[in-house]
Amino acid sequence: MKSILITGASSGLGLFLSRFFNDINYNLVTLGKDKTKIKKLKSYLKEKNKKYCFSYDVTIKKNLKKFLAKIKKIKFDVVIHCMGGGFGKKKPMISQKDLNFLFNVNVSISAEINKEIVDKSLFNKNLKLIHVSSVAAIESTASVGYSMTKASLISYVKTLSKHLIKRNIFVHCVLPGAFEYENNAFMRLKLKNRKIYNKFIKNKLPRKKISKPEDLLGLFKLLISEEGNILTGSSITADYSESNSFRI
């Protein structure tokens, strides 16, 4: 049975994928920041996965080191990095401090976890490293800091894939469009301001309907399979034609 690490597991896509892979009996390691939400996830997980359900604020270096120490004896088949966000830092003239924070949480921490797993051979044959970016990375529709750092993730995946392919390690990036799930940004907007939420759906989504994480599931199933290996280095847009970019 495959072993999967999922970061950003306390809400949104990370939470959905954690529940899904748990339900089909995969071995799971899950990481999230919010202790209350991770405790709730832990209560949902099968007994074998409860032990490896961690709550750490890994933006703090010592906590990242603690987490990496916890996984040092595990061999992974798949890593899915759902960790990230804009964290309310919306000013276009973004400060260096805020930009560094967003780069850390959207790119650097995932890169550090990847480095630990690859350098210390904490993986089985044909490791998959999957990263979740956003259509904002190619459309520049979100804040400067969020759009910029999610775009950096695309470059990281493309470049890293060229170095790791010869070791049969496959690196992917998924660019979801708008979707809603427990406590993610669009679910929060729906609860906070239904008028703006409805306006976004009407004006920005061609099919006039917001996605669910289930819509992305087939893509993730492909990427963790051997059939998905040829897509290594690709950034795959999955948005029901929400974006205007000429890319897959």
Can you give the residue range of the structural domain that contains 169? 3-178+215-236
pLDDT at 162: 97
Q: How far apart are CA 243 and CA 223, in angstroms?
A: 21
The reply to whether 223 falls in a domain is yes
CATH of the domain at 153: 3.40.50.720
Burial 95-125 (b: 16+ CB within 10 A, else e): eeebeebbbbbbbbbbbbbbebbbeeebbee
pLDDT at residue 152 above 60?
A: yes
Contact criterion met (CB below 8 Å) for 7 and 81: yes
Average pLDDT, the chain: 95
- Specify whether the backbone of 54 is left (phi greater than 0), alpha (psi in -120 to 50) or beta: beta
Residue 143 lies in a domain: yes
Instruction: Say if CB 152 and CB 107 are below 8 A apart.
Output: yes
Q: How many CA atoms lie within 13 A of 61 on its CB side?
A: 0
Domain membership flag for residue 154:
yes
Is 229 part of any domain?
yes
Q: Report the pLDDT value the prediction gives residue 142, as an integer from 0 to 100.
A: 87
**What mean pLDDT is predicted for residues 101-108?**
97
The answer to the question of residue 98 being in a domain is yes
d(CA 137, CA 19): 27
Domain assignment of residue 149, yes or no: yes
Cα gap 7→71, rounded to integer Å: 13
Q: What is the pLDDT of residues 218-231, one digit of tens each?
A: 999 999 999 999 99
Note the Cα 179 to chain centre separation in Å. 13
pTM above 0.85, yes or no: yes
| Residue 248: pLDDT band with limits 50, 70, 90 | low
Q: Which two tokens stand for residue 42?
A: 């832990």
> Is pLDDT at 132 greater than 90 in this prediction?
yes
Q: In the prediction, which pLDDT does 140 show?
A: 85
102-125 average pLDDT score: 97
Q: Considering the domain boundaries, does residue 187 fall inside one?
A: no
What does the alpha-carbon distance between residue 141 and residue 156 come to, in Å, rounded to a whole number? 21
Q: Is the residue at 69 inside a domain?
A: yes
pLDDT digits (tens, 9 = 90+) for 42-81: 999 999 999 999 999 999 999 999 999 999 999 999 999 9
Looking at the predicted structure, is the pLDDT value of residue 193 above 70?
yes
Which pLDDT belongs to residue 246? 65
Count of domains observed in the chain = 1
Q: Which two tokens stand for residue 9?
A: 């597991």
